[in-house]
Amino acid sequence: MTTLIEAPPNDADGLLPSKSKASGGGLGTYLLIRFFLIIPTIFILVTMVFFLMRVIGDPITAAQGGRLPPDVLAQRIHDAGYDRPIIVQYLEYLGQVATGNFGTTITDRRPVVEMLATFGTATLELTINALIVALLVGIPLGLVSAYKRDKAPDAFLRFFAILCYATPVFFAGLLMKLTFSVWLGWFPVAGRASTRTELAMGSLAAPTGIYWLDALRSGNMAALGDVAAHSILPAVTLGLLTAGVFLRLVRTNVIGTLGKDYVEAGRSRGVSDFRLVTKHAYKPALIPIITVMGLQIALLLGGAVLTESTFEWKGLGYQLVQYLNARDFVAVQGIVVLLAVIVAVTNFVVDVAAALIDPRVRY
């Protein structure tokens, strides 16, 4: 990430690089190096989370201490191997994680991987919905803001962007709920779908867990409408958080490219201001946006935890809070590690995308 942020994205004179395969060697090396950089990141995070969670004691005492007689507790700890030296447990854990085994949750005795798969799809759906909202709101408004620079619309939009950032997602969610669910009654208060829809979709063979897809596959229009009604408020709540960031980014970058010589040249040839913004300045300004989108994934996932709790959206974030309250640290550790891996991989994908679009990134 760092290398990309430090590459000045503003001097995009060579806009729209032709994707010639001539520089393929440089790209290949870059991708390879970038790929291997994921490993230390994930390794550090896994290590950090493991030791931090163990500082406070073994997971079984944390979850069930006080509720079980001491000898039963000691037996359980022994059975699970938590009484061995921590370094042995750590190495074993690393081996398990490498093979995709995250252990079994303590409170409801489910394999962590299965739990992650079940709730991960819900979080994925929410995050994608939110990202769509963010892009639909952020990019056009950012263009308007840059086009009307330092005039009233710009001032208003910049204030709007700061407000998006300044409002905690759960407060935004609360306002949405109050306004659109309780007072206007347009949308349901919470959840991902009503019980009837969930039942209808549950009868599908091999449900994907992504309700949009499942509702489409069931061919039930009422179910689709129900899913849509449930997703709008959470998506807008989480999307607005990121929309402000996109708005400001688009604005800054478009203003940067608008000052470039080729834009000036276009202007001198009589290209209209509107066309200059939408055709000439817009595309090179998108490159840093793709890069920052990677950084936003971390923000989005953090926001998703709060949004899910607000709307009882049963995804990883909602589940994380449940497990945290139950002090089930094996499950918590699994969720946290998964989110860390998602962030690291997303950053990689984003870097690859940036390298494909902009050859200057590969060095």
CB of 154 to another protein, least distance (A): 9
Token pair listed for 304: 């998703």
C-alpha–C-alpha distance, residues 176 and 165, integer Å: 16
Residues within window 216-245 making contact with another protein, judged by CB under 8 A = 244-245
Give the interface segment with another protein, choosing from 9-17, 28-36, 104-112, 193-201 (CB under 8 A). 9-17
Handedness of CA 171, 173, 179, 185 (dihedral sign): negative
Considering only 49, 113, 210, 356, the residue that binds another protein (CB under 8 A) is: 49
Token pair listed for 147: 């086009």
Residue 334 burial (CB < 10 Å; 0-12/13-18/19+)? Answer: buried
C-alpha–C-alpha distance, residues 360 and 350, integer Å: 15
CB of 16 to another protein, least distance (A): 20
Question: CB-wise, 163 or 199, nearer to another protein?
Answer: 163
CB of 308 to another protein, least distance (A): 11
Question: CB-wise, 118 or 167, nearer to another protein?
Answer: 167
CB of 339 to another protein, least distance (A): 6
Give the Å distances, CA to CA, from 70 to 54, 59, 76, 80, 327: 20, 15, 10, 15, 18
Considering only 121, 218, 231, 347, the residue that binds another protein (CB under 8 A) is: 347
Per the CB < 8 A criterion, the answer to whether 133 and 240 are in contact is yes
Token pair listed for 212: 């949009």
Give the interface segment with another protein, choosing from 15-23, 50-58, 100-108, 221-229 (CB under 8 A). 50-58
Three-point CA angle 319, 323, 324, nearest 5° = 115
CB of 221 to another protein, least distance (A): 27
Q: If DSSP codes are grouped into helix, strand and coil, which group holds residue 104?
A: strand
Give the Å distances, CA to CA, from 86 to 41, 79, 306: 22, 15, 33
Residues within window 79-138 making contact with another protein, judged by CB under 8 A = none
* Type of residue at 99: T
Of 308, 356, 341, nearest in space to 98 by CA? 341
Total residues interacting with another protein, rule: CB under 8 A:
72
Give the Å distances, CA to CA, from 357 to 1, 12, 136, 189, 351: 16, 12, 21, 42, 10
C-alpha–C-alpha distance, residues 353 and 363, integer Å: 15
Residues within window 19-48 making contact with another protein, judged by CB under 8 A = 40-41, 44-45, 48
Residues within window 261-290 making contact with another protein, judged by CB under 8 A = 288
Give the interface segment with another protein, choosing from 16-24, 52-60, 74-82, 202-210 (CB under 8 A). 52-60
Question: CB-wise, 99 or 325, nearer to another protein?
Answer: 325
* Type of residue at 273: D
Considering only 339, 350, 354, 361, the residue that binds another protein (CB under 8 A) is: 339
Residues within window 285-314 making contact with another protein, judged by CB under 8 A = 288, 292, 295-296, 298-299, 301-302, 305-306, 309-310
72 binds another protein (CB under 8 A): no
CB of 88 to another protein, least distance (A): 21
User: What phi and psi, each to the nearest 5 degrees, are found at residue 111?
Assistant: -60, 135
Question: CB-wise, 52 or 199, nearer to another protein?
Answer: 52
56 binds another protein (CB under 8 A): yes
User: What phi and psi, each to the nearest 5 degrees, are found at residue 189?
Assistant: -75, -40
Question: CB-wise, 217 or 314, nearer to another protein?
Answer: 314
Residues within window 159-218 making contact with another protein, judged by CB under 8 A = 162-163, 165-168, 170-171, 173-175, 177-178, 181-183, 189-190
Point out which residues pair with 104 in neighbouring strands.
111
5 binds another protein (CB under 8 A): yes
Question: CB-wise, 215 or 243, nearer to another protein?
Answer: 243
CB of 219 to another protein, least distance (A): 32
